[in-house]
Amino acid sequence: MCLGIFLTLKIFNIPDITTDGSFTLGGAVTAVMLINNYNPLITLLVVLLAGAFAGIITGIIHAKLKVNALLAGILTMTALYSVNLMIMGRSNIPLVDAQNIFSFFSADSNSQTEGMVLMFFVLFLLLLMGWLLHTDFGIAMRTTGNNEMMARAVGINTSAMKVYGLALANALTALSGYMMVQYQGFVDINMGIGIVISGLGSVMIGEALLKILRKDNLWLQIIFVVIGAIAFRLVLAYALSAGLSPNYLKLVTASIVLFIVSVSWFLKRRSDDRN
Amino acid sequence: MIEIKEASKIFHPDTAQQTIALNNINLKINKGEFLVLVGSNGSGKSTLLNAIAGVTSLTKGKIIFDGSDVTSLQDFERSKWVAKIFQNPLAGTAPDLTVLDNFRMAALRTKNKSLRTGISNKFIESVQEKINVLSLGLENKVYNKMGSLSGGQRQALTLLMAVMDNCKVLLMDEPTASLDPRSAETVMSIAQKLISKNNLTAILVTHNMKDAIHYGNRIIQMKEGKILRDLKKEEKFNLILNELYEWF
């Protein structure tokens, strides 16, 4: 999910909040397919397509109908709430005894297997994203986000490129919902609410850490998105273990993101002053 | 050859702010011609350039490149024929991408941007060779971000990028307006060399009367969306600076 947000926010410069809906969409499709005994890998493919479709809708609303990106995301996210309820049929589905991606790889799945599978997915996606952004297509994506006028001048269809980017980003977010549902053992219609803030926080922590290290390299940027996500979760886990009521979790999440934004702003100003 | 037939552009039609930027323009620009467009602010020079590039759509009329009607094509589709140098030296390049990434996109102007990693050692060497011609000492900065270079350096690289992939028409909208005199001279002499080396059709919009005299083999003065004067070859070469100032 964080890689998806990195793609939209940092590569395309689009604040996409379809994320809240496509995360749950991924989870809803996963739960319904797994309890109907579909293969977890086939389920994965359908989840990716569903997420991509959500992204395409946002992309078309934004790039073709020229609706502000934020509003386009809100529209799709709002519509997805009903779509997700339609897919699920009810607001919560437990995954009792259904085969999942962890038991698919190991019959006696335990936390170690789950960790290995998750690690495999993260590493695979890191390499995939790094490779993609270094291809000619990836450079065209980055050019679109960095200077749209120049991108069009070198023959890039920037509207189509934004649609591809949003499709890919939301496919990744849906994949995140797929993993989360299988990890926690249930899907809930509200599981995506505010998830975009966690993603933003993770991307910004990664960016702030890179600024502190004064490094600026595409591979490092991608790796630090994952490091940022882990750091963000650790901070939240620490807050909960220190006795914070779970009722205040969203408040703490928003405060952490605000803190990171302030630090990023301070680091940027310091760097600008130095230059 | 570029052919512009009965081209008109009206901004904010049927409102109090209605502006006729182009008023029934008819113009033929032959292959290899280097046309200089002059005129006061609001005369329609940049609108004409943007209409040729596809950035601005015409209210009426046609634009034809080598016999193909391109009027309905968008700017990114016209990049098959046209390369544009912007007034702002920062506009023609992607600042957060490396020099190599920028050149890679320029090299693929007319081609598909596929899922292959095209920045090979051979490509890097060819970019360094091209940059070496500029004699600006930039050949070892191909891994630097474009944004770390000066305006003049970026404008010079934009010119090189413009002619990388089979461009036929080079449009320059006051390319030296934001540069210091020395950088401006360097950029214009590079442009001149590239235009004659690649036998490009070129259009230069400028407010610099010395440049208007010095460069090109045809000069057009525009006023209120119309072509007022059109001097070719000898007429243009015999034009002197004071005469040109009297036009305004």
Q: Which domains does chain B have, with CATH numbers?
A: 2-91+164-246 (3.40.50.300)
Which of helix, strand or coil describes residue B245?
Answer: helix
Q: How far is CA B92 from CA A142, B80, B140, B172, in A?
A: 15, 16, 21, 11
A167-219 pLDDT, tens digit each: 999 999 999 999 999 999 999 999 999 899 889 989 988 988 888 888 888 99
pLDDT of residue A35: 95
Query: Beta-strand (E) ranges in B39-178?
Result: 60-65, 68-69, 82-85, 169-173
Asked whether the predicted pLDDT for residue A42 surpasses 90, the reply is yes
pLDDT of residue B219: 93
Nearest CB neighbour to B116, from listed A136, A152, A216: A136
**pLDDT band, residue B180 (cuts 50/70/90):** confident
Please give the mean pLDDT across all residues of chain B: 90
pLDDT of residue A216: 81
Complex ipTM value: 0.88
**pLDDT band, residue B12 (cuts 50/70/90):** very high
Q: How far apart are the first and last CA of chain A?
A: 34
For chain A, what percent of residues have pLDDT higher than 90?
67
Asked whether the predicted pLDDT for residue A62 surpasses 90, the reply is yes
SS (H, E, C) A83-148: HHHHHHCCCEEECCCCCCHHHHHCCCCCHHHHHHHHHHHHHHHHHHHHHHHHCHHHHHHHHHHHCH
Rounded to a whole number of angstroms, the distance from the CA of B4 to the nearest CA of chain A is 21
Q: Which residue has the higher pLDDT, B183 or A19?
A: A19
**pLDDT band, residue B209 (cuts 50/70/90):** confident
Q: Report the sign of the C-alpha dihedral through residues B57, B60, B61, B62, in that order.
A: positive
A125-150 pLDDT, tens digit each: 999 999 999 999 999 999 999 999 99
- Best of A132, A152, A154 to disrupt the B interface by mutation (most B CBs within 10 Å)? A154
Asked whether the predicted pLDDT for residue B171 surpasses 80, the reply is yes
Which of helix, strand or coil describes residue B220?
Answer: strand
Q: Which residue has the higher pLDDT, B246 or B42?
A: B42
Q: Are strands B34-38 and B68-69 parallel, antiparallel or unpaired?
A: unpaired
Which of helix, strand or coil describes residue B26?
Answer: strand
A220 interfaces chain B, CB cutoff of 8 Å? no
B154 interfaces chain A, CB cutoff of 8 Å? no
Asked whether the predicted pLDDT for residue B234 surpasses 80, the reply is no
pLDDT mean over A244-265: 85
Q: How far apart are the first and last CA of chain B?
A: 29
- The most confident of A73-87, A110-124, B230-244, by mean pLDDT: A73-87
**pLDDT band, residue B183 (cuts 50/70/90):** confident
pLDDT of residue B185: 87
Residues A168 and A171: their CA atoms lie apart, in Å, by 5
Scanning A121-160 for CB atoms below 8 A from B yields 131-132, 134-137, 139-140, 142-143, 146-147, 149-158
Nearest CB neighbour to B94, from listed A150, A157, A216: A150
pLDDT of residue A78: 96
Task: Report the chain B residue with the minimal C-alpha distance to residue A11.
Answer: B96
Residues B248 and B244: their CA atoms lie apart, in Å, by 8
What are A206's two structure tokens? Answer: 């990664």
Nearest to B51 by CA among B159, B205, B182: B205
CB contact set of A265 (below 8 Å; sequence gap of 6+): none
pLDDT mean over A82-91: 96
Contact assignment for B109 to A157 by CB distance below 8 Å? no
B93 interfaces chain A, CB cutoff of 8 Å? yes
pLDDT of residue B64: 95
pLDDT of residue A274: 67
pLDDT mean over B54-70: 94
Nearest to B26 by CA among B9, B44, B6: B6
Residues B146 and A144: their CA atoms lie apart, in Å, by 15
For chain A, what percent of residues have pLDDT higher than 70?
99
Contact A144, A151 (CB under 8 A): yes
Helix residue ranges per DSSP H, B54-180: 75-78, 99-107, 121-132, 151-162
Residues A95 and B152: their CA atoms lie apart, in Å, by 62
Asked whether the predicted pLDDT for residue B222 surpasses 80, the reply is yes
Residues A10 and A84: their CA atoms lie apart, in Å, by 28
Rounded to a whole number of angstroms, the distance from the CA of A138 to the nearest CA of chain B is 8
pLDDT mean over B139-147: 92
Contact A51, A171 (CB under 8 A): yes
Asked whether the predicted pLDDT for residue B239 surpasses 90, the reply is no
pLDDT mean over A36-54: 96
Residues A16, A19, A21, A24: what is their CA dihedral angle, to the nearest 10 degrees? 180
Contact B236, B243 (CB under 8 A): no
Of A67-81, A112-126, A141-155, the poorest mean pLDDT is in A112-126
Rounded to a whole number of angstroms, the distance from the CA of B85 to the nearest CA of chain A is 9
pLDDT of residue B56: 93
Radius of gyration of chain A (CA): 19
CB contact set of B165 (below 8 Å; sequence gap of 6+): B106, B107, B108, B109, B110, B111
Asked whether the predicted pLDDT for residue B242 surpasses 80, the reply is no
Task: Report the chain B residue with the minimal C-alpha distance to residue A147.
Answer: B94
What are B191's two structure tokens? Answer: 């442009």
**pLDDT band, residue A275 (cuts 50/70/90):** low
Residue position matching structure tokens 């002059």: B38
Contact assignment for B114 to A137 by CB distance below 8 Å? yes
Q: Which residue has the higher pLDDT, A149 or B87?
A: A149
